[in-house]
Amino acid sequence: MRKYIKESLKYLLRTRLFIHKYVNEINVMYDMTPKELKARNERRFLEIFRKAFYKSEYYRGLCHAEGIKSVDEIQYLEDIAKLPILTKDMLKAHGEELLTRSKWGLMKNHTSGTTGTPLTVFQDWTSVWREQAYFVCYRKRCGYNYGEPMVSLRGNLGRTEISLKVHVSNTLFLSSYNINEHTAITYYQLIKQHHAKAIEGYPSSLYNLALVLRDKGLECHIPIAFTSSETLHDYQRMLIEKVFNTQIYDHYGTTERTIRLEESFDHDGYFEDPGYGIEEYHDDYVISTSLINDVFPLIRYKTDDRIVLKSDTVNTKECFIDYIQGRNDDCLICKDGTKIVRLGFVTKDFDEIDKTQFVQKQKGDVEIRIVCSKTLSEEVKDKVKKNLEDRCGKGNMDIVVRQVDDNEIIYSSLLKFKYVYSEIGRGSNIS
């Protein structure tokens, strides 16, 4: 009942009553010419920069260190290159100092920790409503209107429950943690009874469900699918679209709310949501500036995800992004075959933990390696173990929690960190 009430309230607080003016604003930006949109973005950027400079002593200090002593030195969008770059480590150490107002009344979000170092992000309601308005506008253009029947596999439910129908949003939530050959028929019947117009979920969750349905000879008919939060691989897209008889629209965003990319309507790449942020693309990282959150001003924030641009960016107009090479992690496989992904919840509430990596060498076995500047207490180790056990099911995974030095963390040949590293079927794991 508590989860039902929570999901109902979340939906009600993001309905048109609260977001209609932001929806109207975004719809106008969709219709702007590139010149008009650039002018609008410049105005918004200058507003956020000036507020950060005057209201955040920490940010003002960063600017001074770069030789920027006055807001008058930043007059145009092109001047953004003069400003300091923010990193995740800086935010972990000084996040609250970056705020332009008291943190009282602000909402906290935590990054998933796929880079090994989760952080806290602050938002006010205006930022939350703007974010929701972008979902409403894009999804409507894909053919889905909020309130139409939706199936959601996004980690809202844990191991102890399979489904929850929230009537006010017309959403059937399904657990991502119970998908296996034994539950396939149950998932299929629940989806069929809901008559969904759309389904949303992590690519790996939809793929896992598609696999077990395929193996049972079952198919669903859901016109639209929305994927997000993980890299969508071609092999996943093909099976999901076939088993669900659907058309996928992929979304890329971050908890920090600095960048938001949508798959184009004809599926030939990705475009930036208009007016959401200012992006500076580099070969192995992105520097982005949020235009929707001025209480936690992330101006020139660096992320390590790789955005691959099209070779011909002149003639592709607004859809100039080829693909997104982001969070490529393996999954954990339980003893009963259930695949567990999106594991940031396991250690995100422990401030003393600097880095976490899940290492699996055989099915039903995992070692959680933790890097910590001080000795990790047995109490914390037990809580970490219990957090994962709650999702896997008691006895469904043999778990070892071990404190290690950073040299025992596994990196790729390109020194990319993998939050989940599995040696099971190396060529075909779910990411």
Instruction: Report domain extents, the chain.
Output: 32-123+254-325, 132-253, 332-422
Helix, strand, coil percentages in the chain from 3-state DSSP, rounded to 5: 35, 25, 40
Judge whether 132-253 and 332-422 match in fold.
no
Nearest Cα residue to 26 out of 160, 133, 126, 101: 133
The CATH fold of domain 332-422: GMP Synthetase; Chain A, domain 3 (3.30.300)
Return the pLDDT at 416: 54
Q: How far apart are CA 241 and CA 120, in angstroms?
A: 35
DSSP, res 283: S
CA 398 vs CA 17, 353, 360: distances in Å? 48, 22, 10
Residues in the chain: 431
Q: How far apart are CA 110 and CA 98, in angstroms?
A: 16
Return the pLDDT at 431: 25
The gap between the terminal CA atoms of the chain, to the nearest Å, is: 33
Q: How far apart are CA 213 and CA 183, in angstroms?
A: 10
The tokens for 413 are 């040949």
CA-based angle 346:250:278, to the nearest 5?
90
213 φ/ψ angles, rounded to the nearest 5 degrees = -70, -40
**In this structure, are residues 312 and 140 in contact, taking their beta carbons and an 8 Å threshold?**
no
Nearest Cα residue to 177 out of 357, 336, 365: 336
Kind of pairing, strands 270-272 and 260-263? antiparallel
Q: At what angle do helices 184-194 and 203-215 cross, to 10 degrees?
A: 110
74 φ/ψ angles, rounded to the nearest 5 degrees = -115, 100
Q: What is the mean pLDDT of the chain?
A: 89
Q: Which residues contact 341 (CB under 8 A, 6 or more apart)?
A: 176, 202, 204, 205, 230, 329, 331, 332, 420, 430
pLDDT in tens, 14-27: 999 999 999 999 99
Return the pLDDT at 412: 61
The CATH fold of domain 32-123+254-325: Rossmann fold (3.40.50)
Q: Which residues contact 367 (CB under 8 A, 6 or more apart)?
A: 358, 359, 360, 361, 400, 401, 402
- Tell me: pLDDT of 417 over 70: no
- For 93-104, what is the mean pLDDT? 95
- Tell me: pLDDT of 430 over 50: no
**Cβ neighbours of 295 (radius 10 Å):** 22
108: helix, coil or strand? strand
pLDDT in tens, 41-98: 999 999 999 999 999 999 999 999 999 999 999 999 999 999 999 999 999 999 999 9
Q: Of all residues in the chain, what percent carry a pLDDT higher than 70?
A: 92
- The alpha carbon of residue 395 and the mean position of all alpha carbons in its chain are separated, in whole angstroms, by 30
**In this structure, are residues 183 and 206 in contact, taking their beta carbons and an 8 Å threshold?**
no
- Tell me: pLDDT of 247 over 90: yes
Q: How far apart are CA 368 and CA 339, in angstroms?
A: 16
HSE value, Cβ hemisphere, 13 Å, CA-based, for 176: 20
- Tell me: pLDDT of 110 over 50: yes
pTM score, whole prediction: 0.79
Range from 15-24, 103-112, 205-214 that averages highest in pLDDT:
15-24
The amino acid at 210: A
- Tell me: pLDDT of 373 over 70: yes
Q: How far apart are CA 371 and CA 386, in angstroms?
A: 18
**In this structure, are residues 285 and 85 in contact, taking their beta carbons and an 8 Å threshold?**
no
* Of 143-152, 164-173, 270-279, 325-334, minimum mean pLDDT range: 325-334
CATH architecture of 132-253: 3-Layer(aba) Sandwich (3.40)
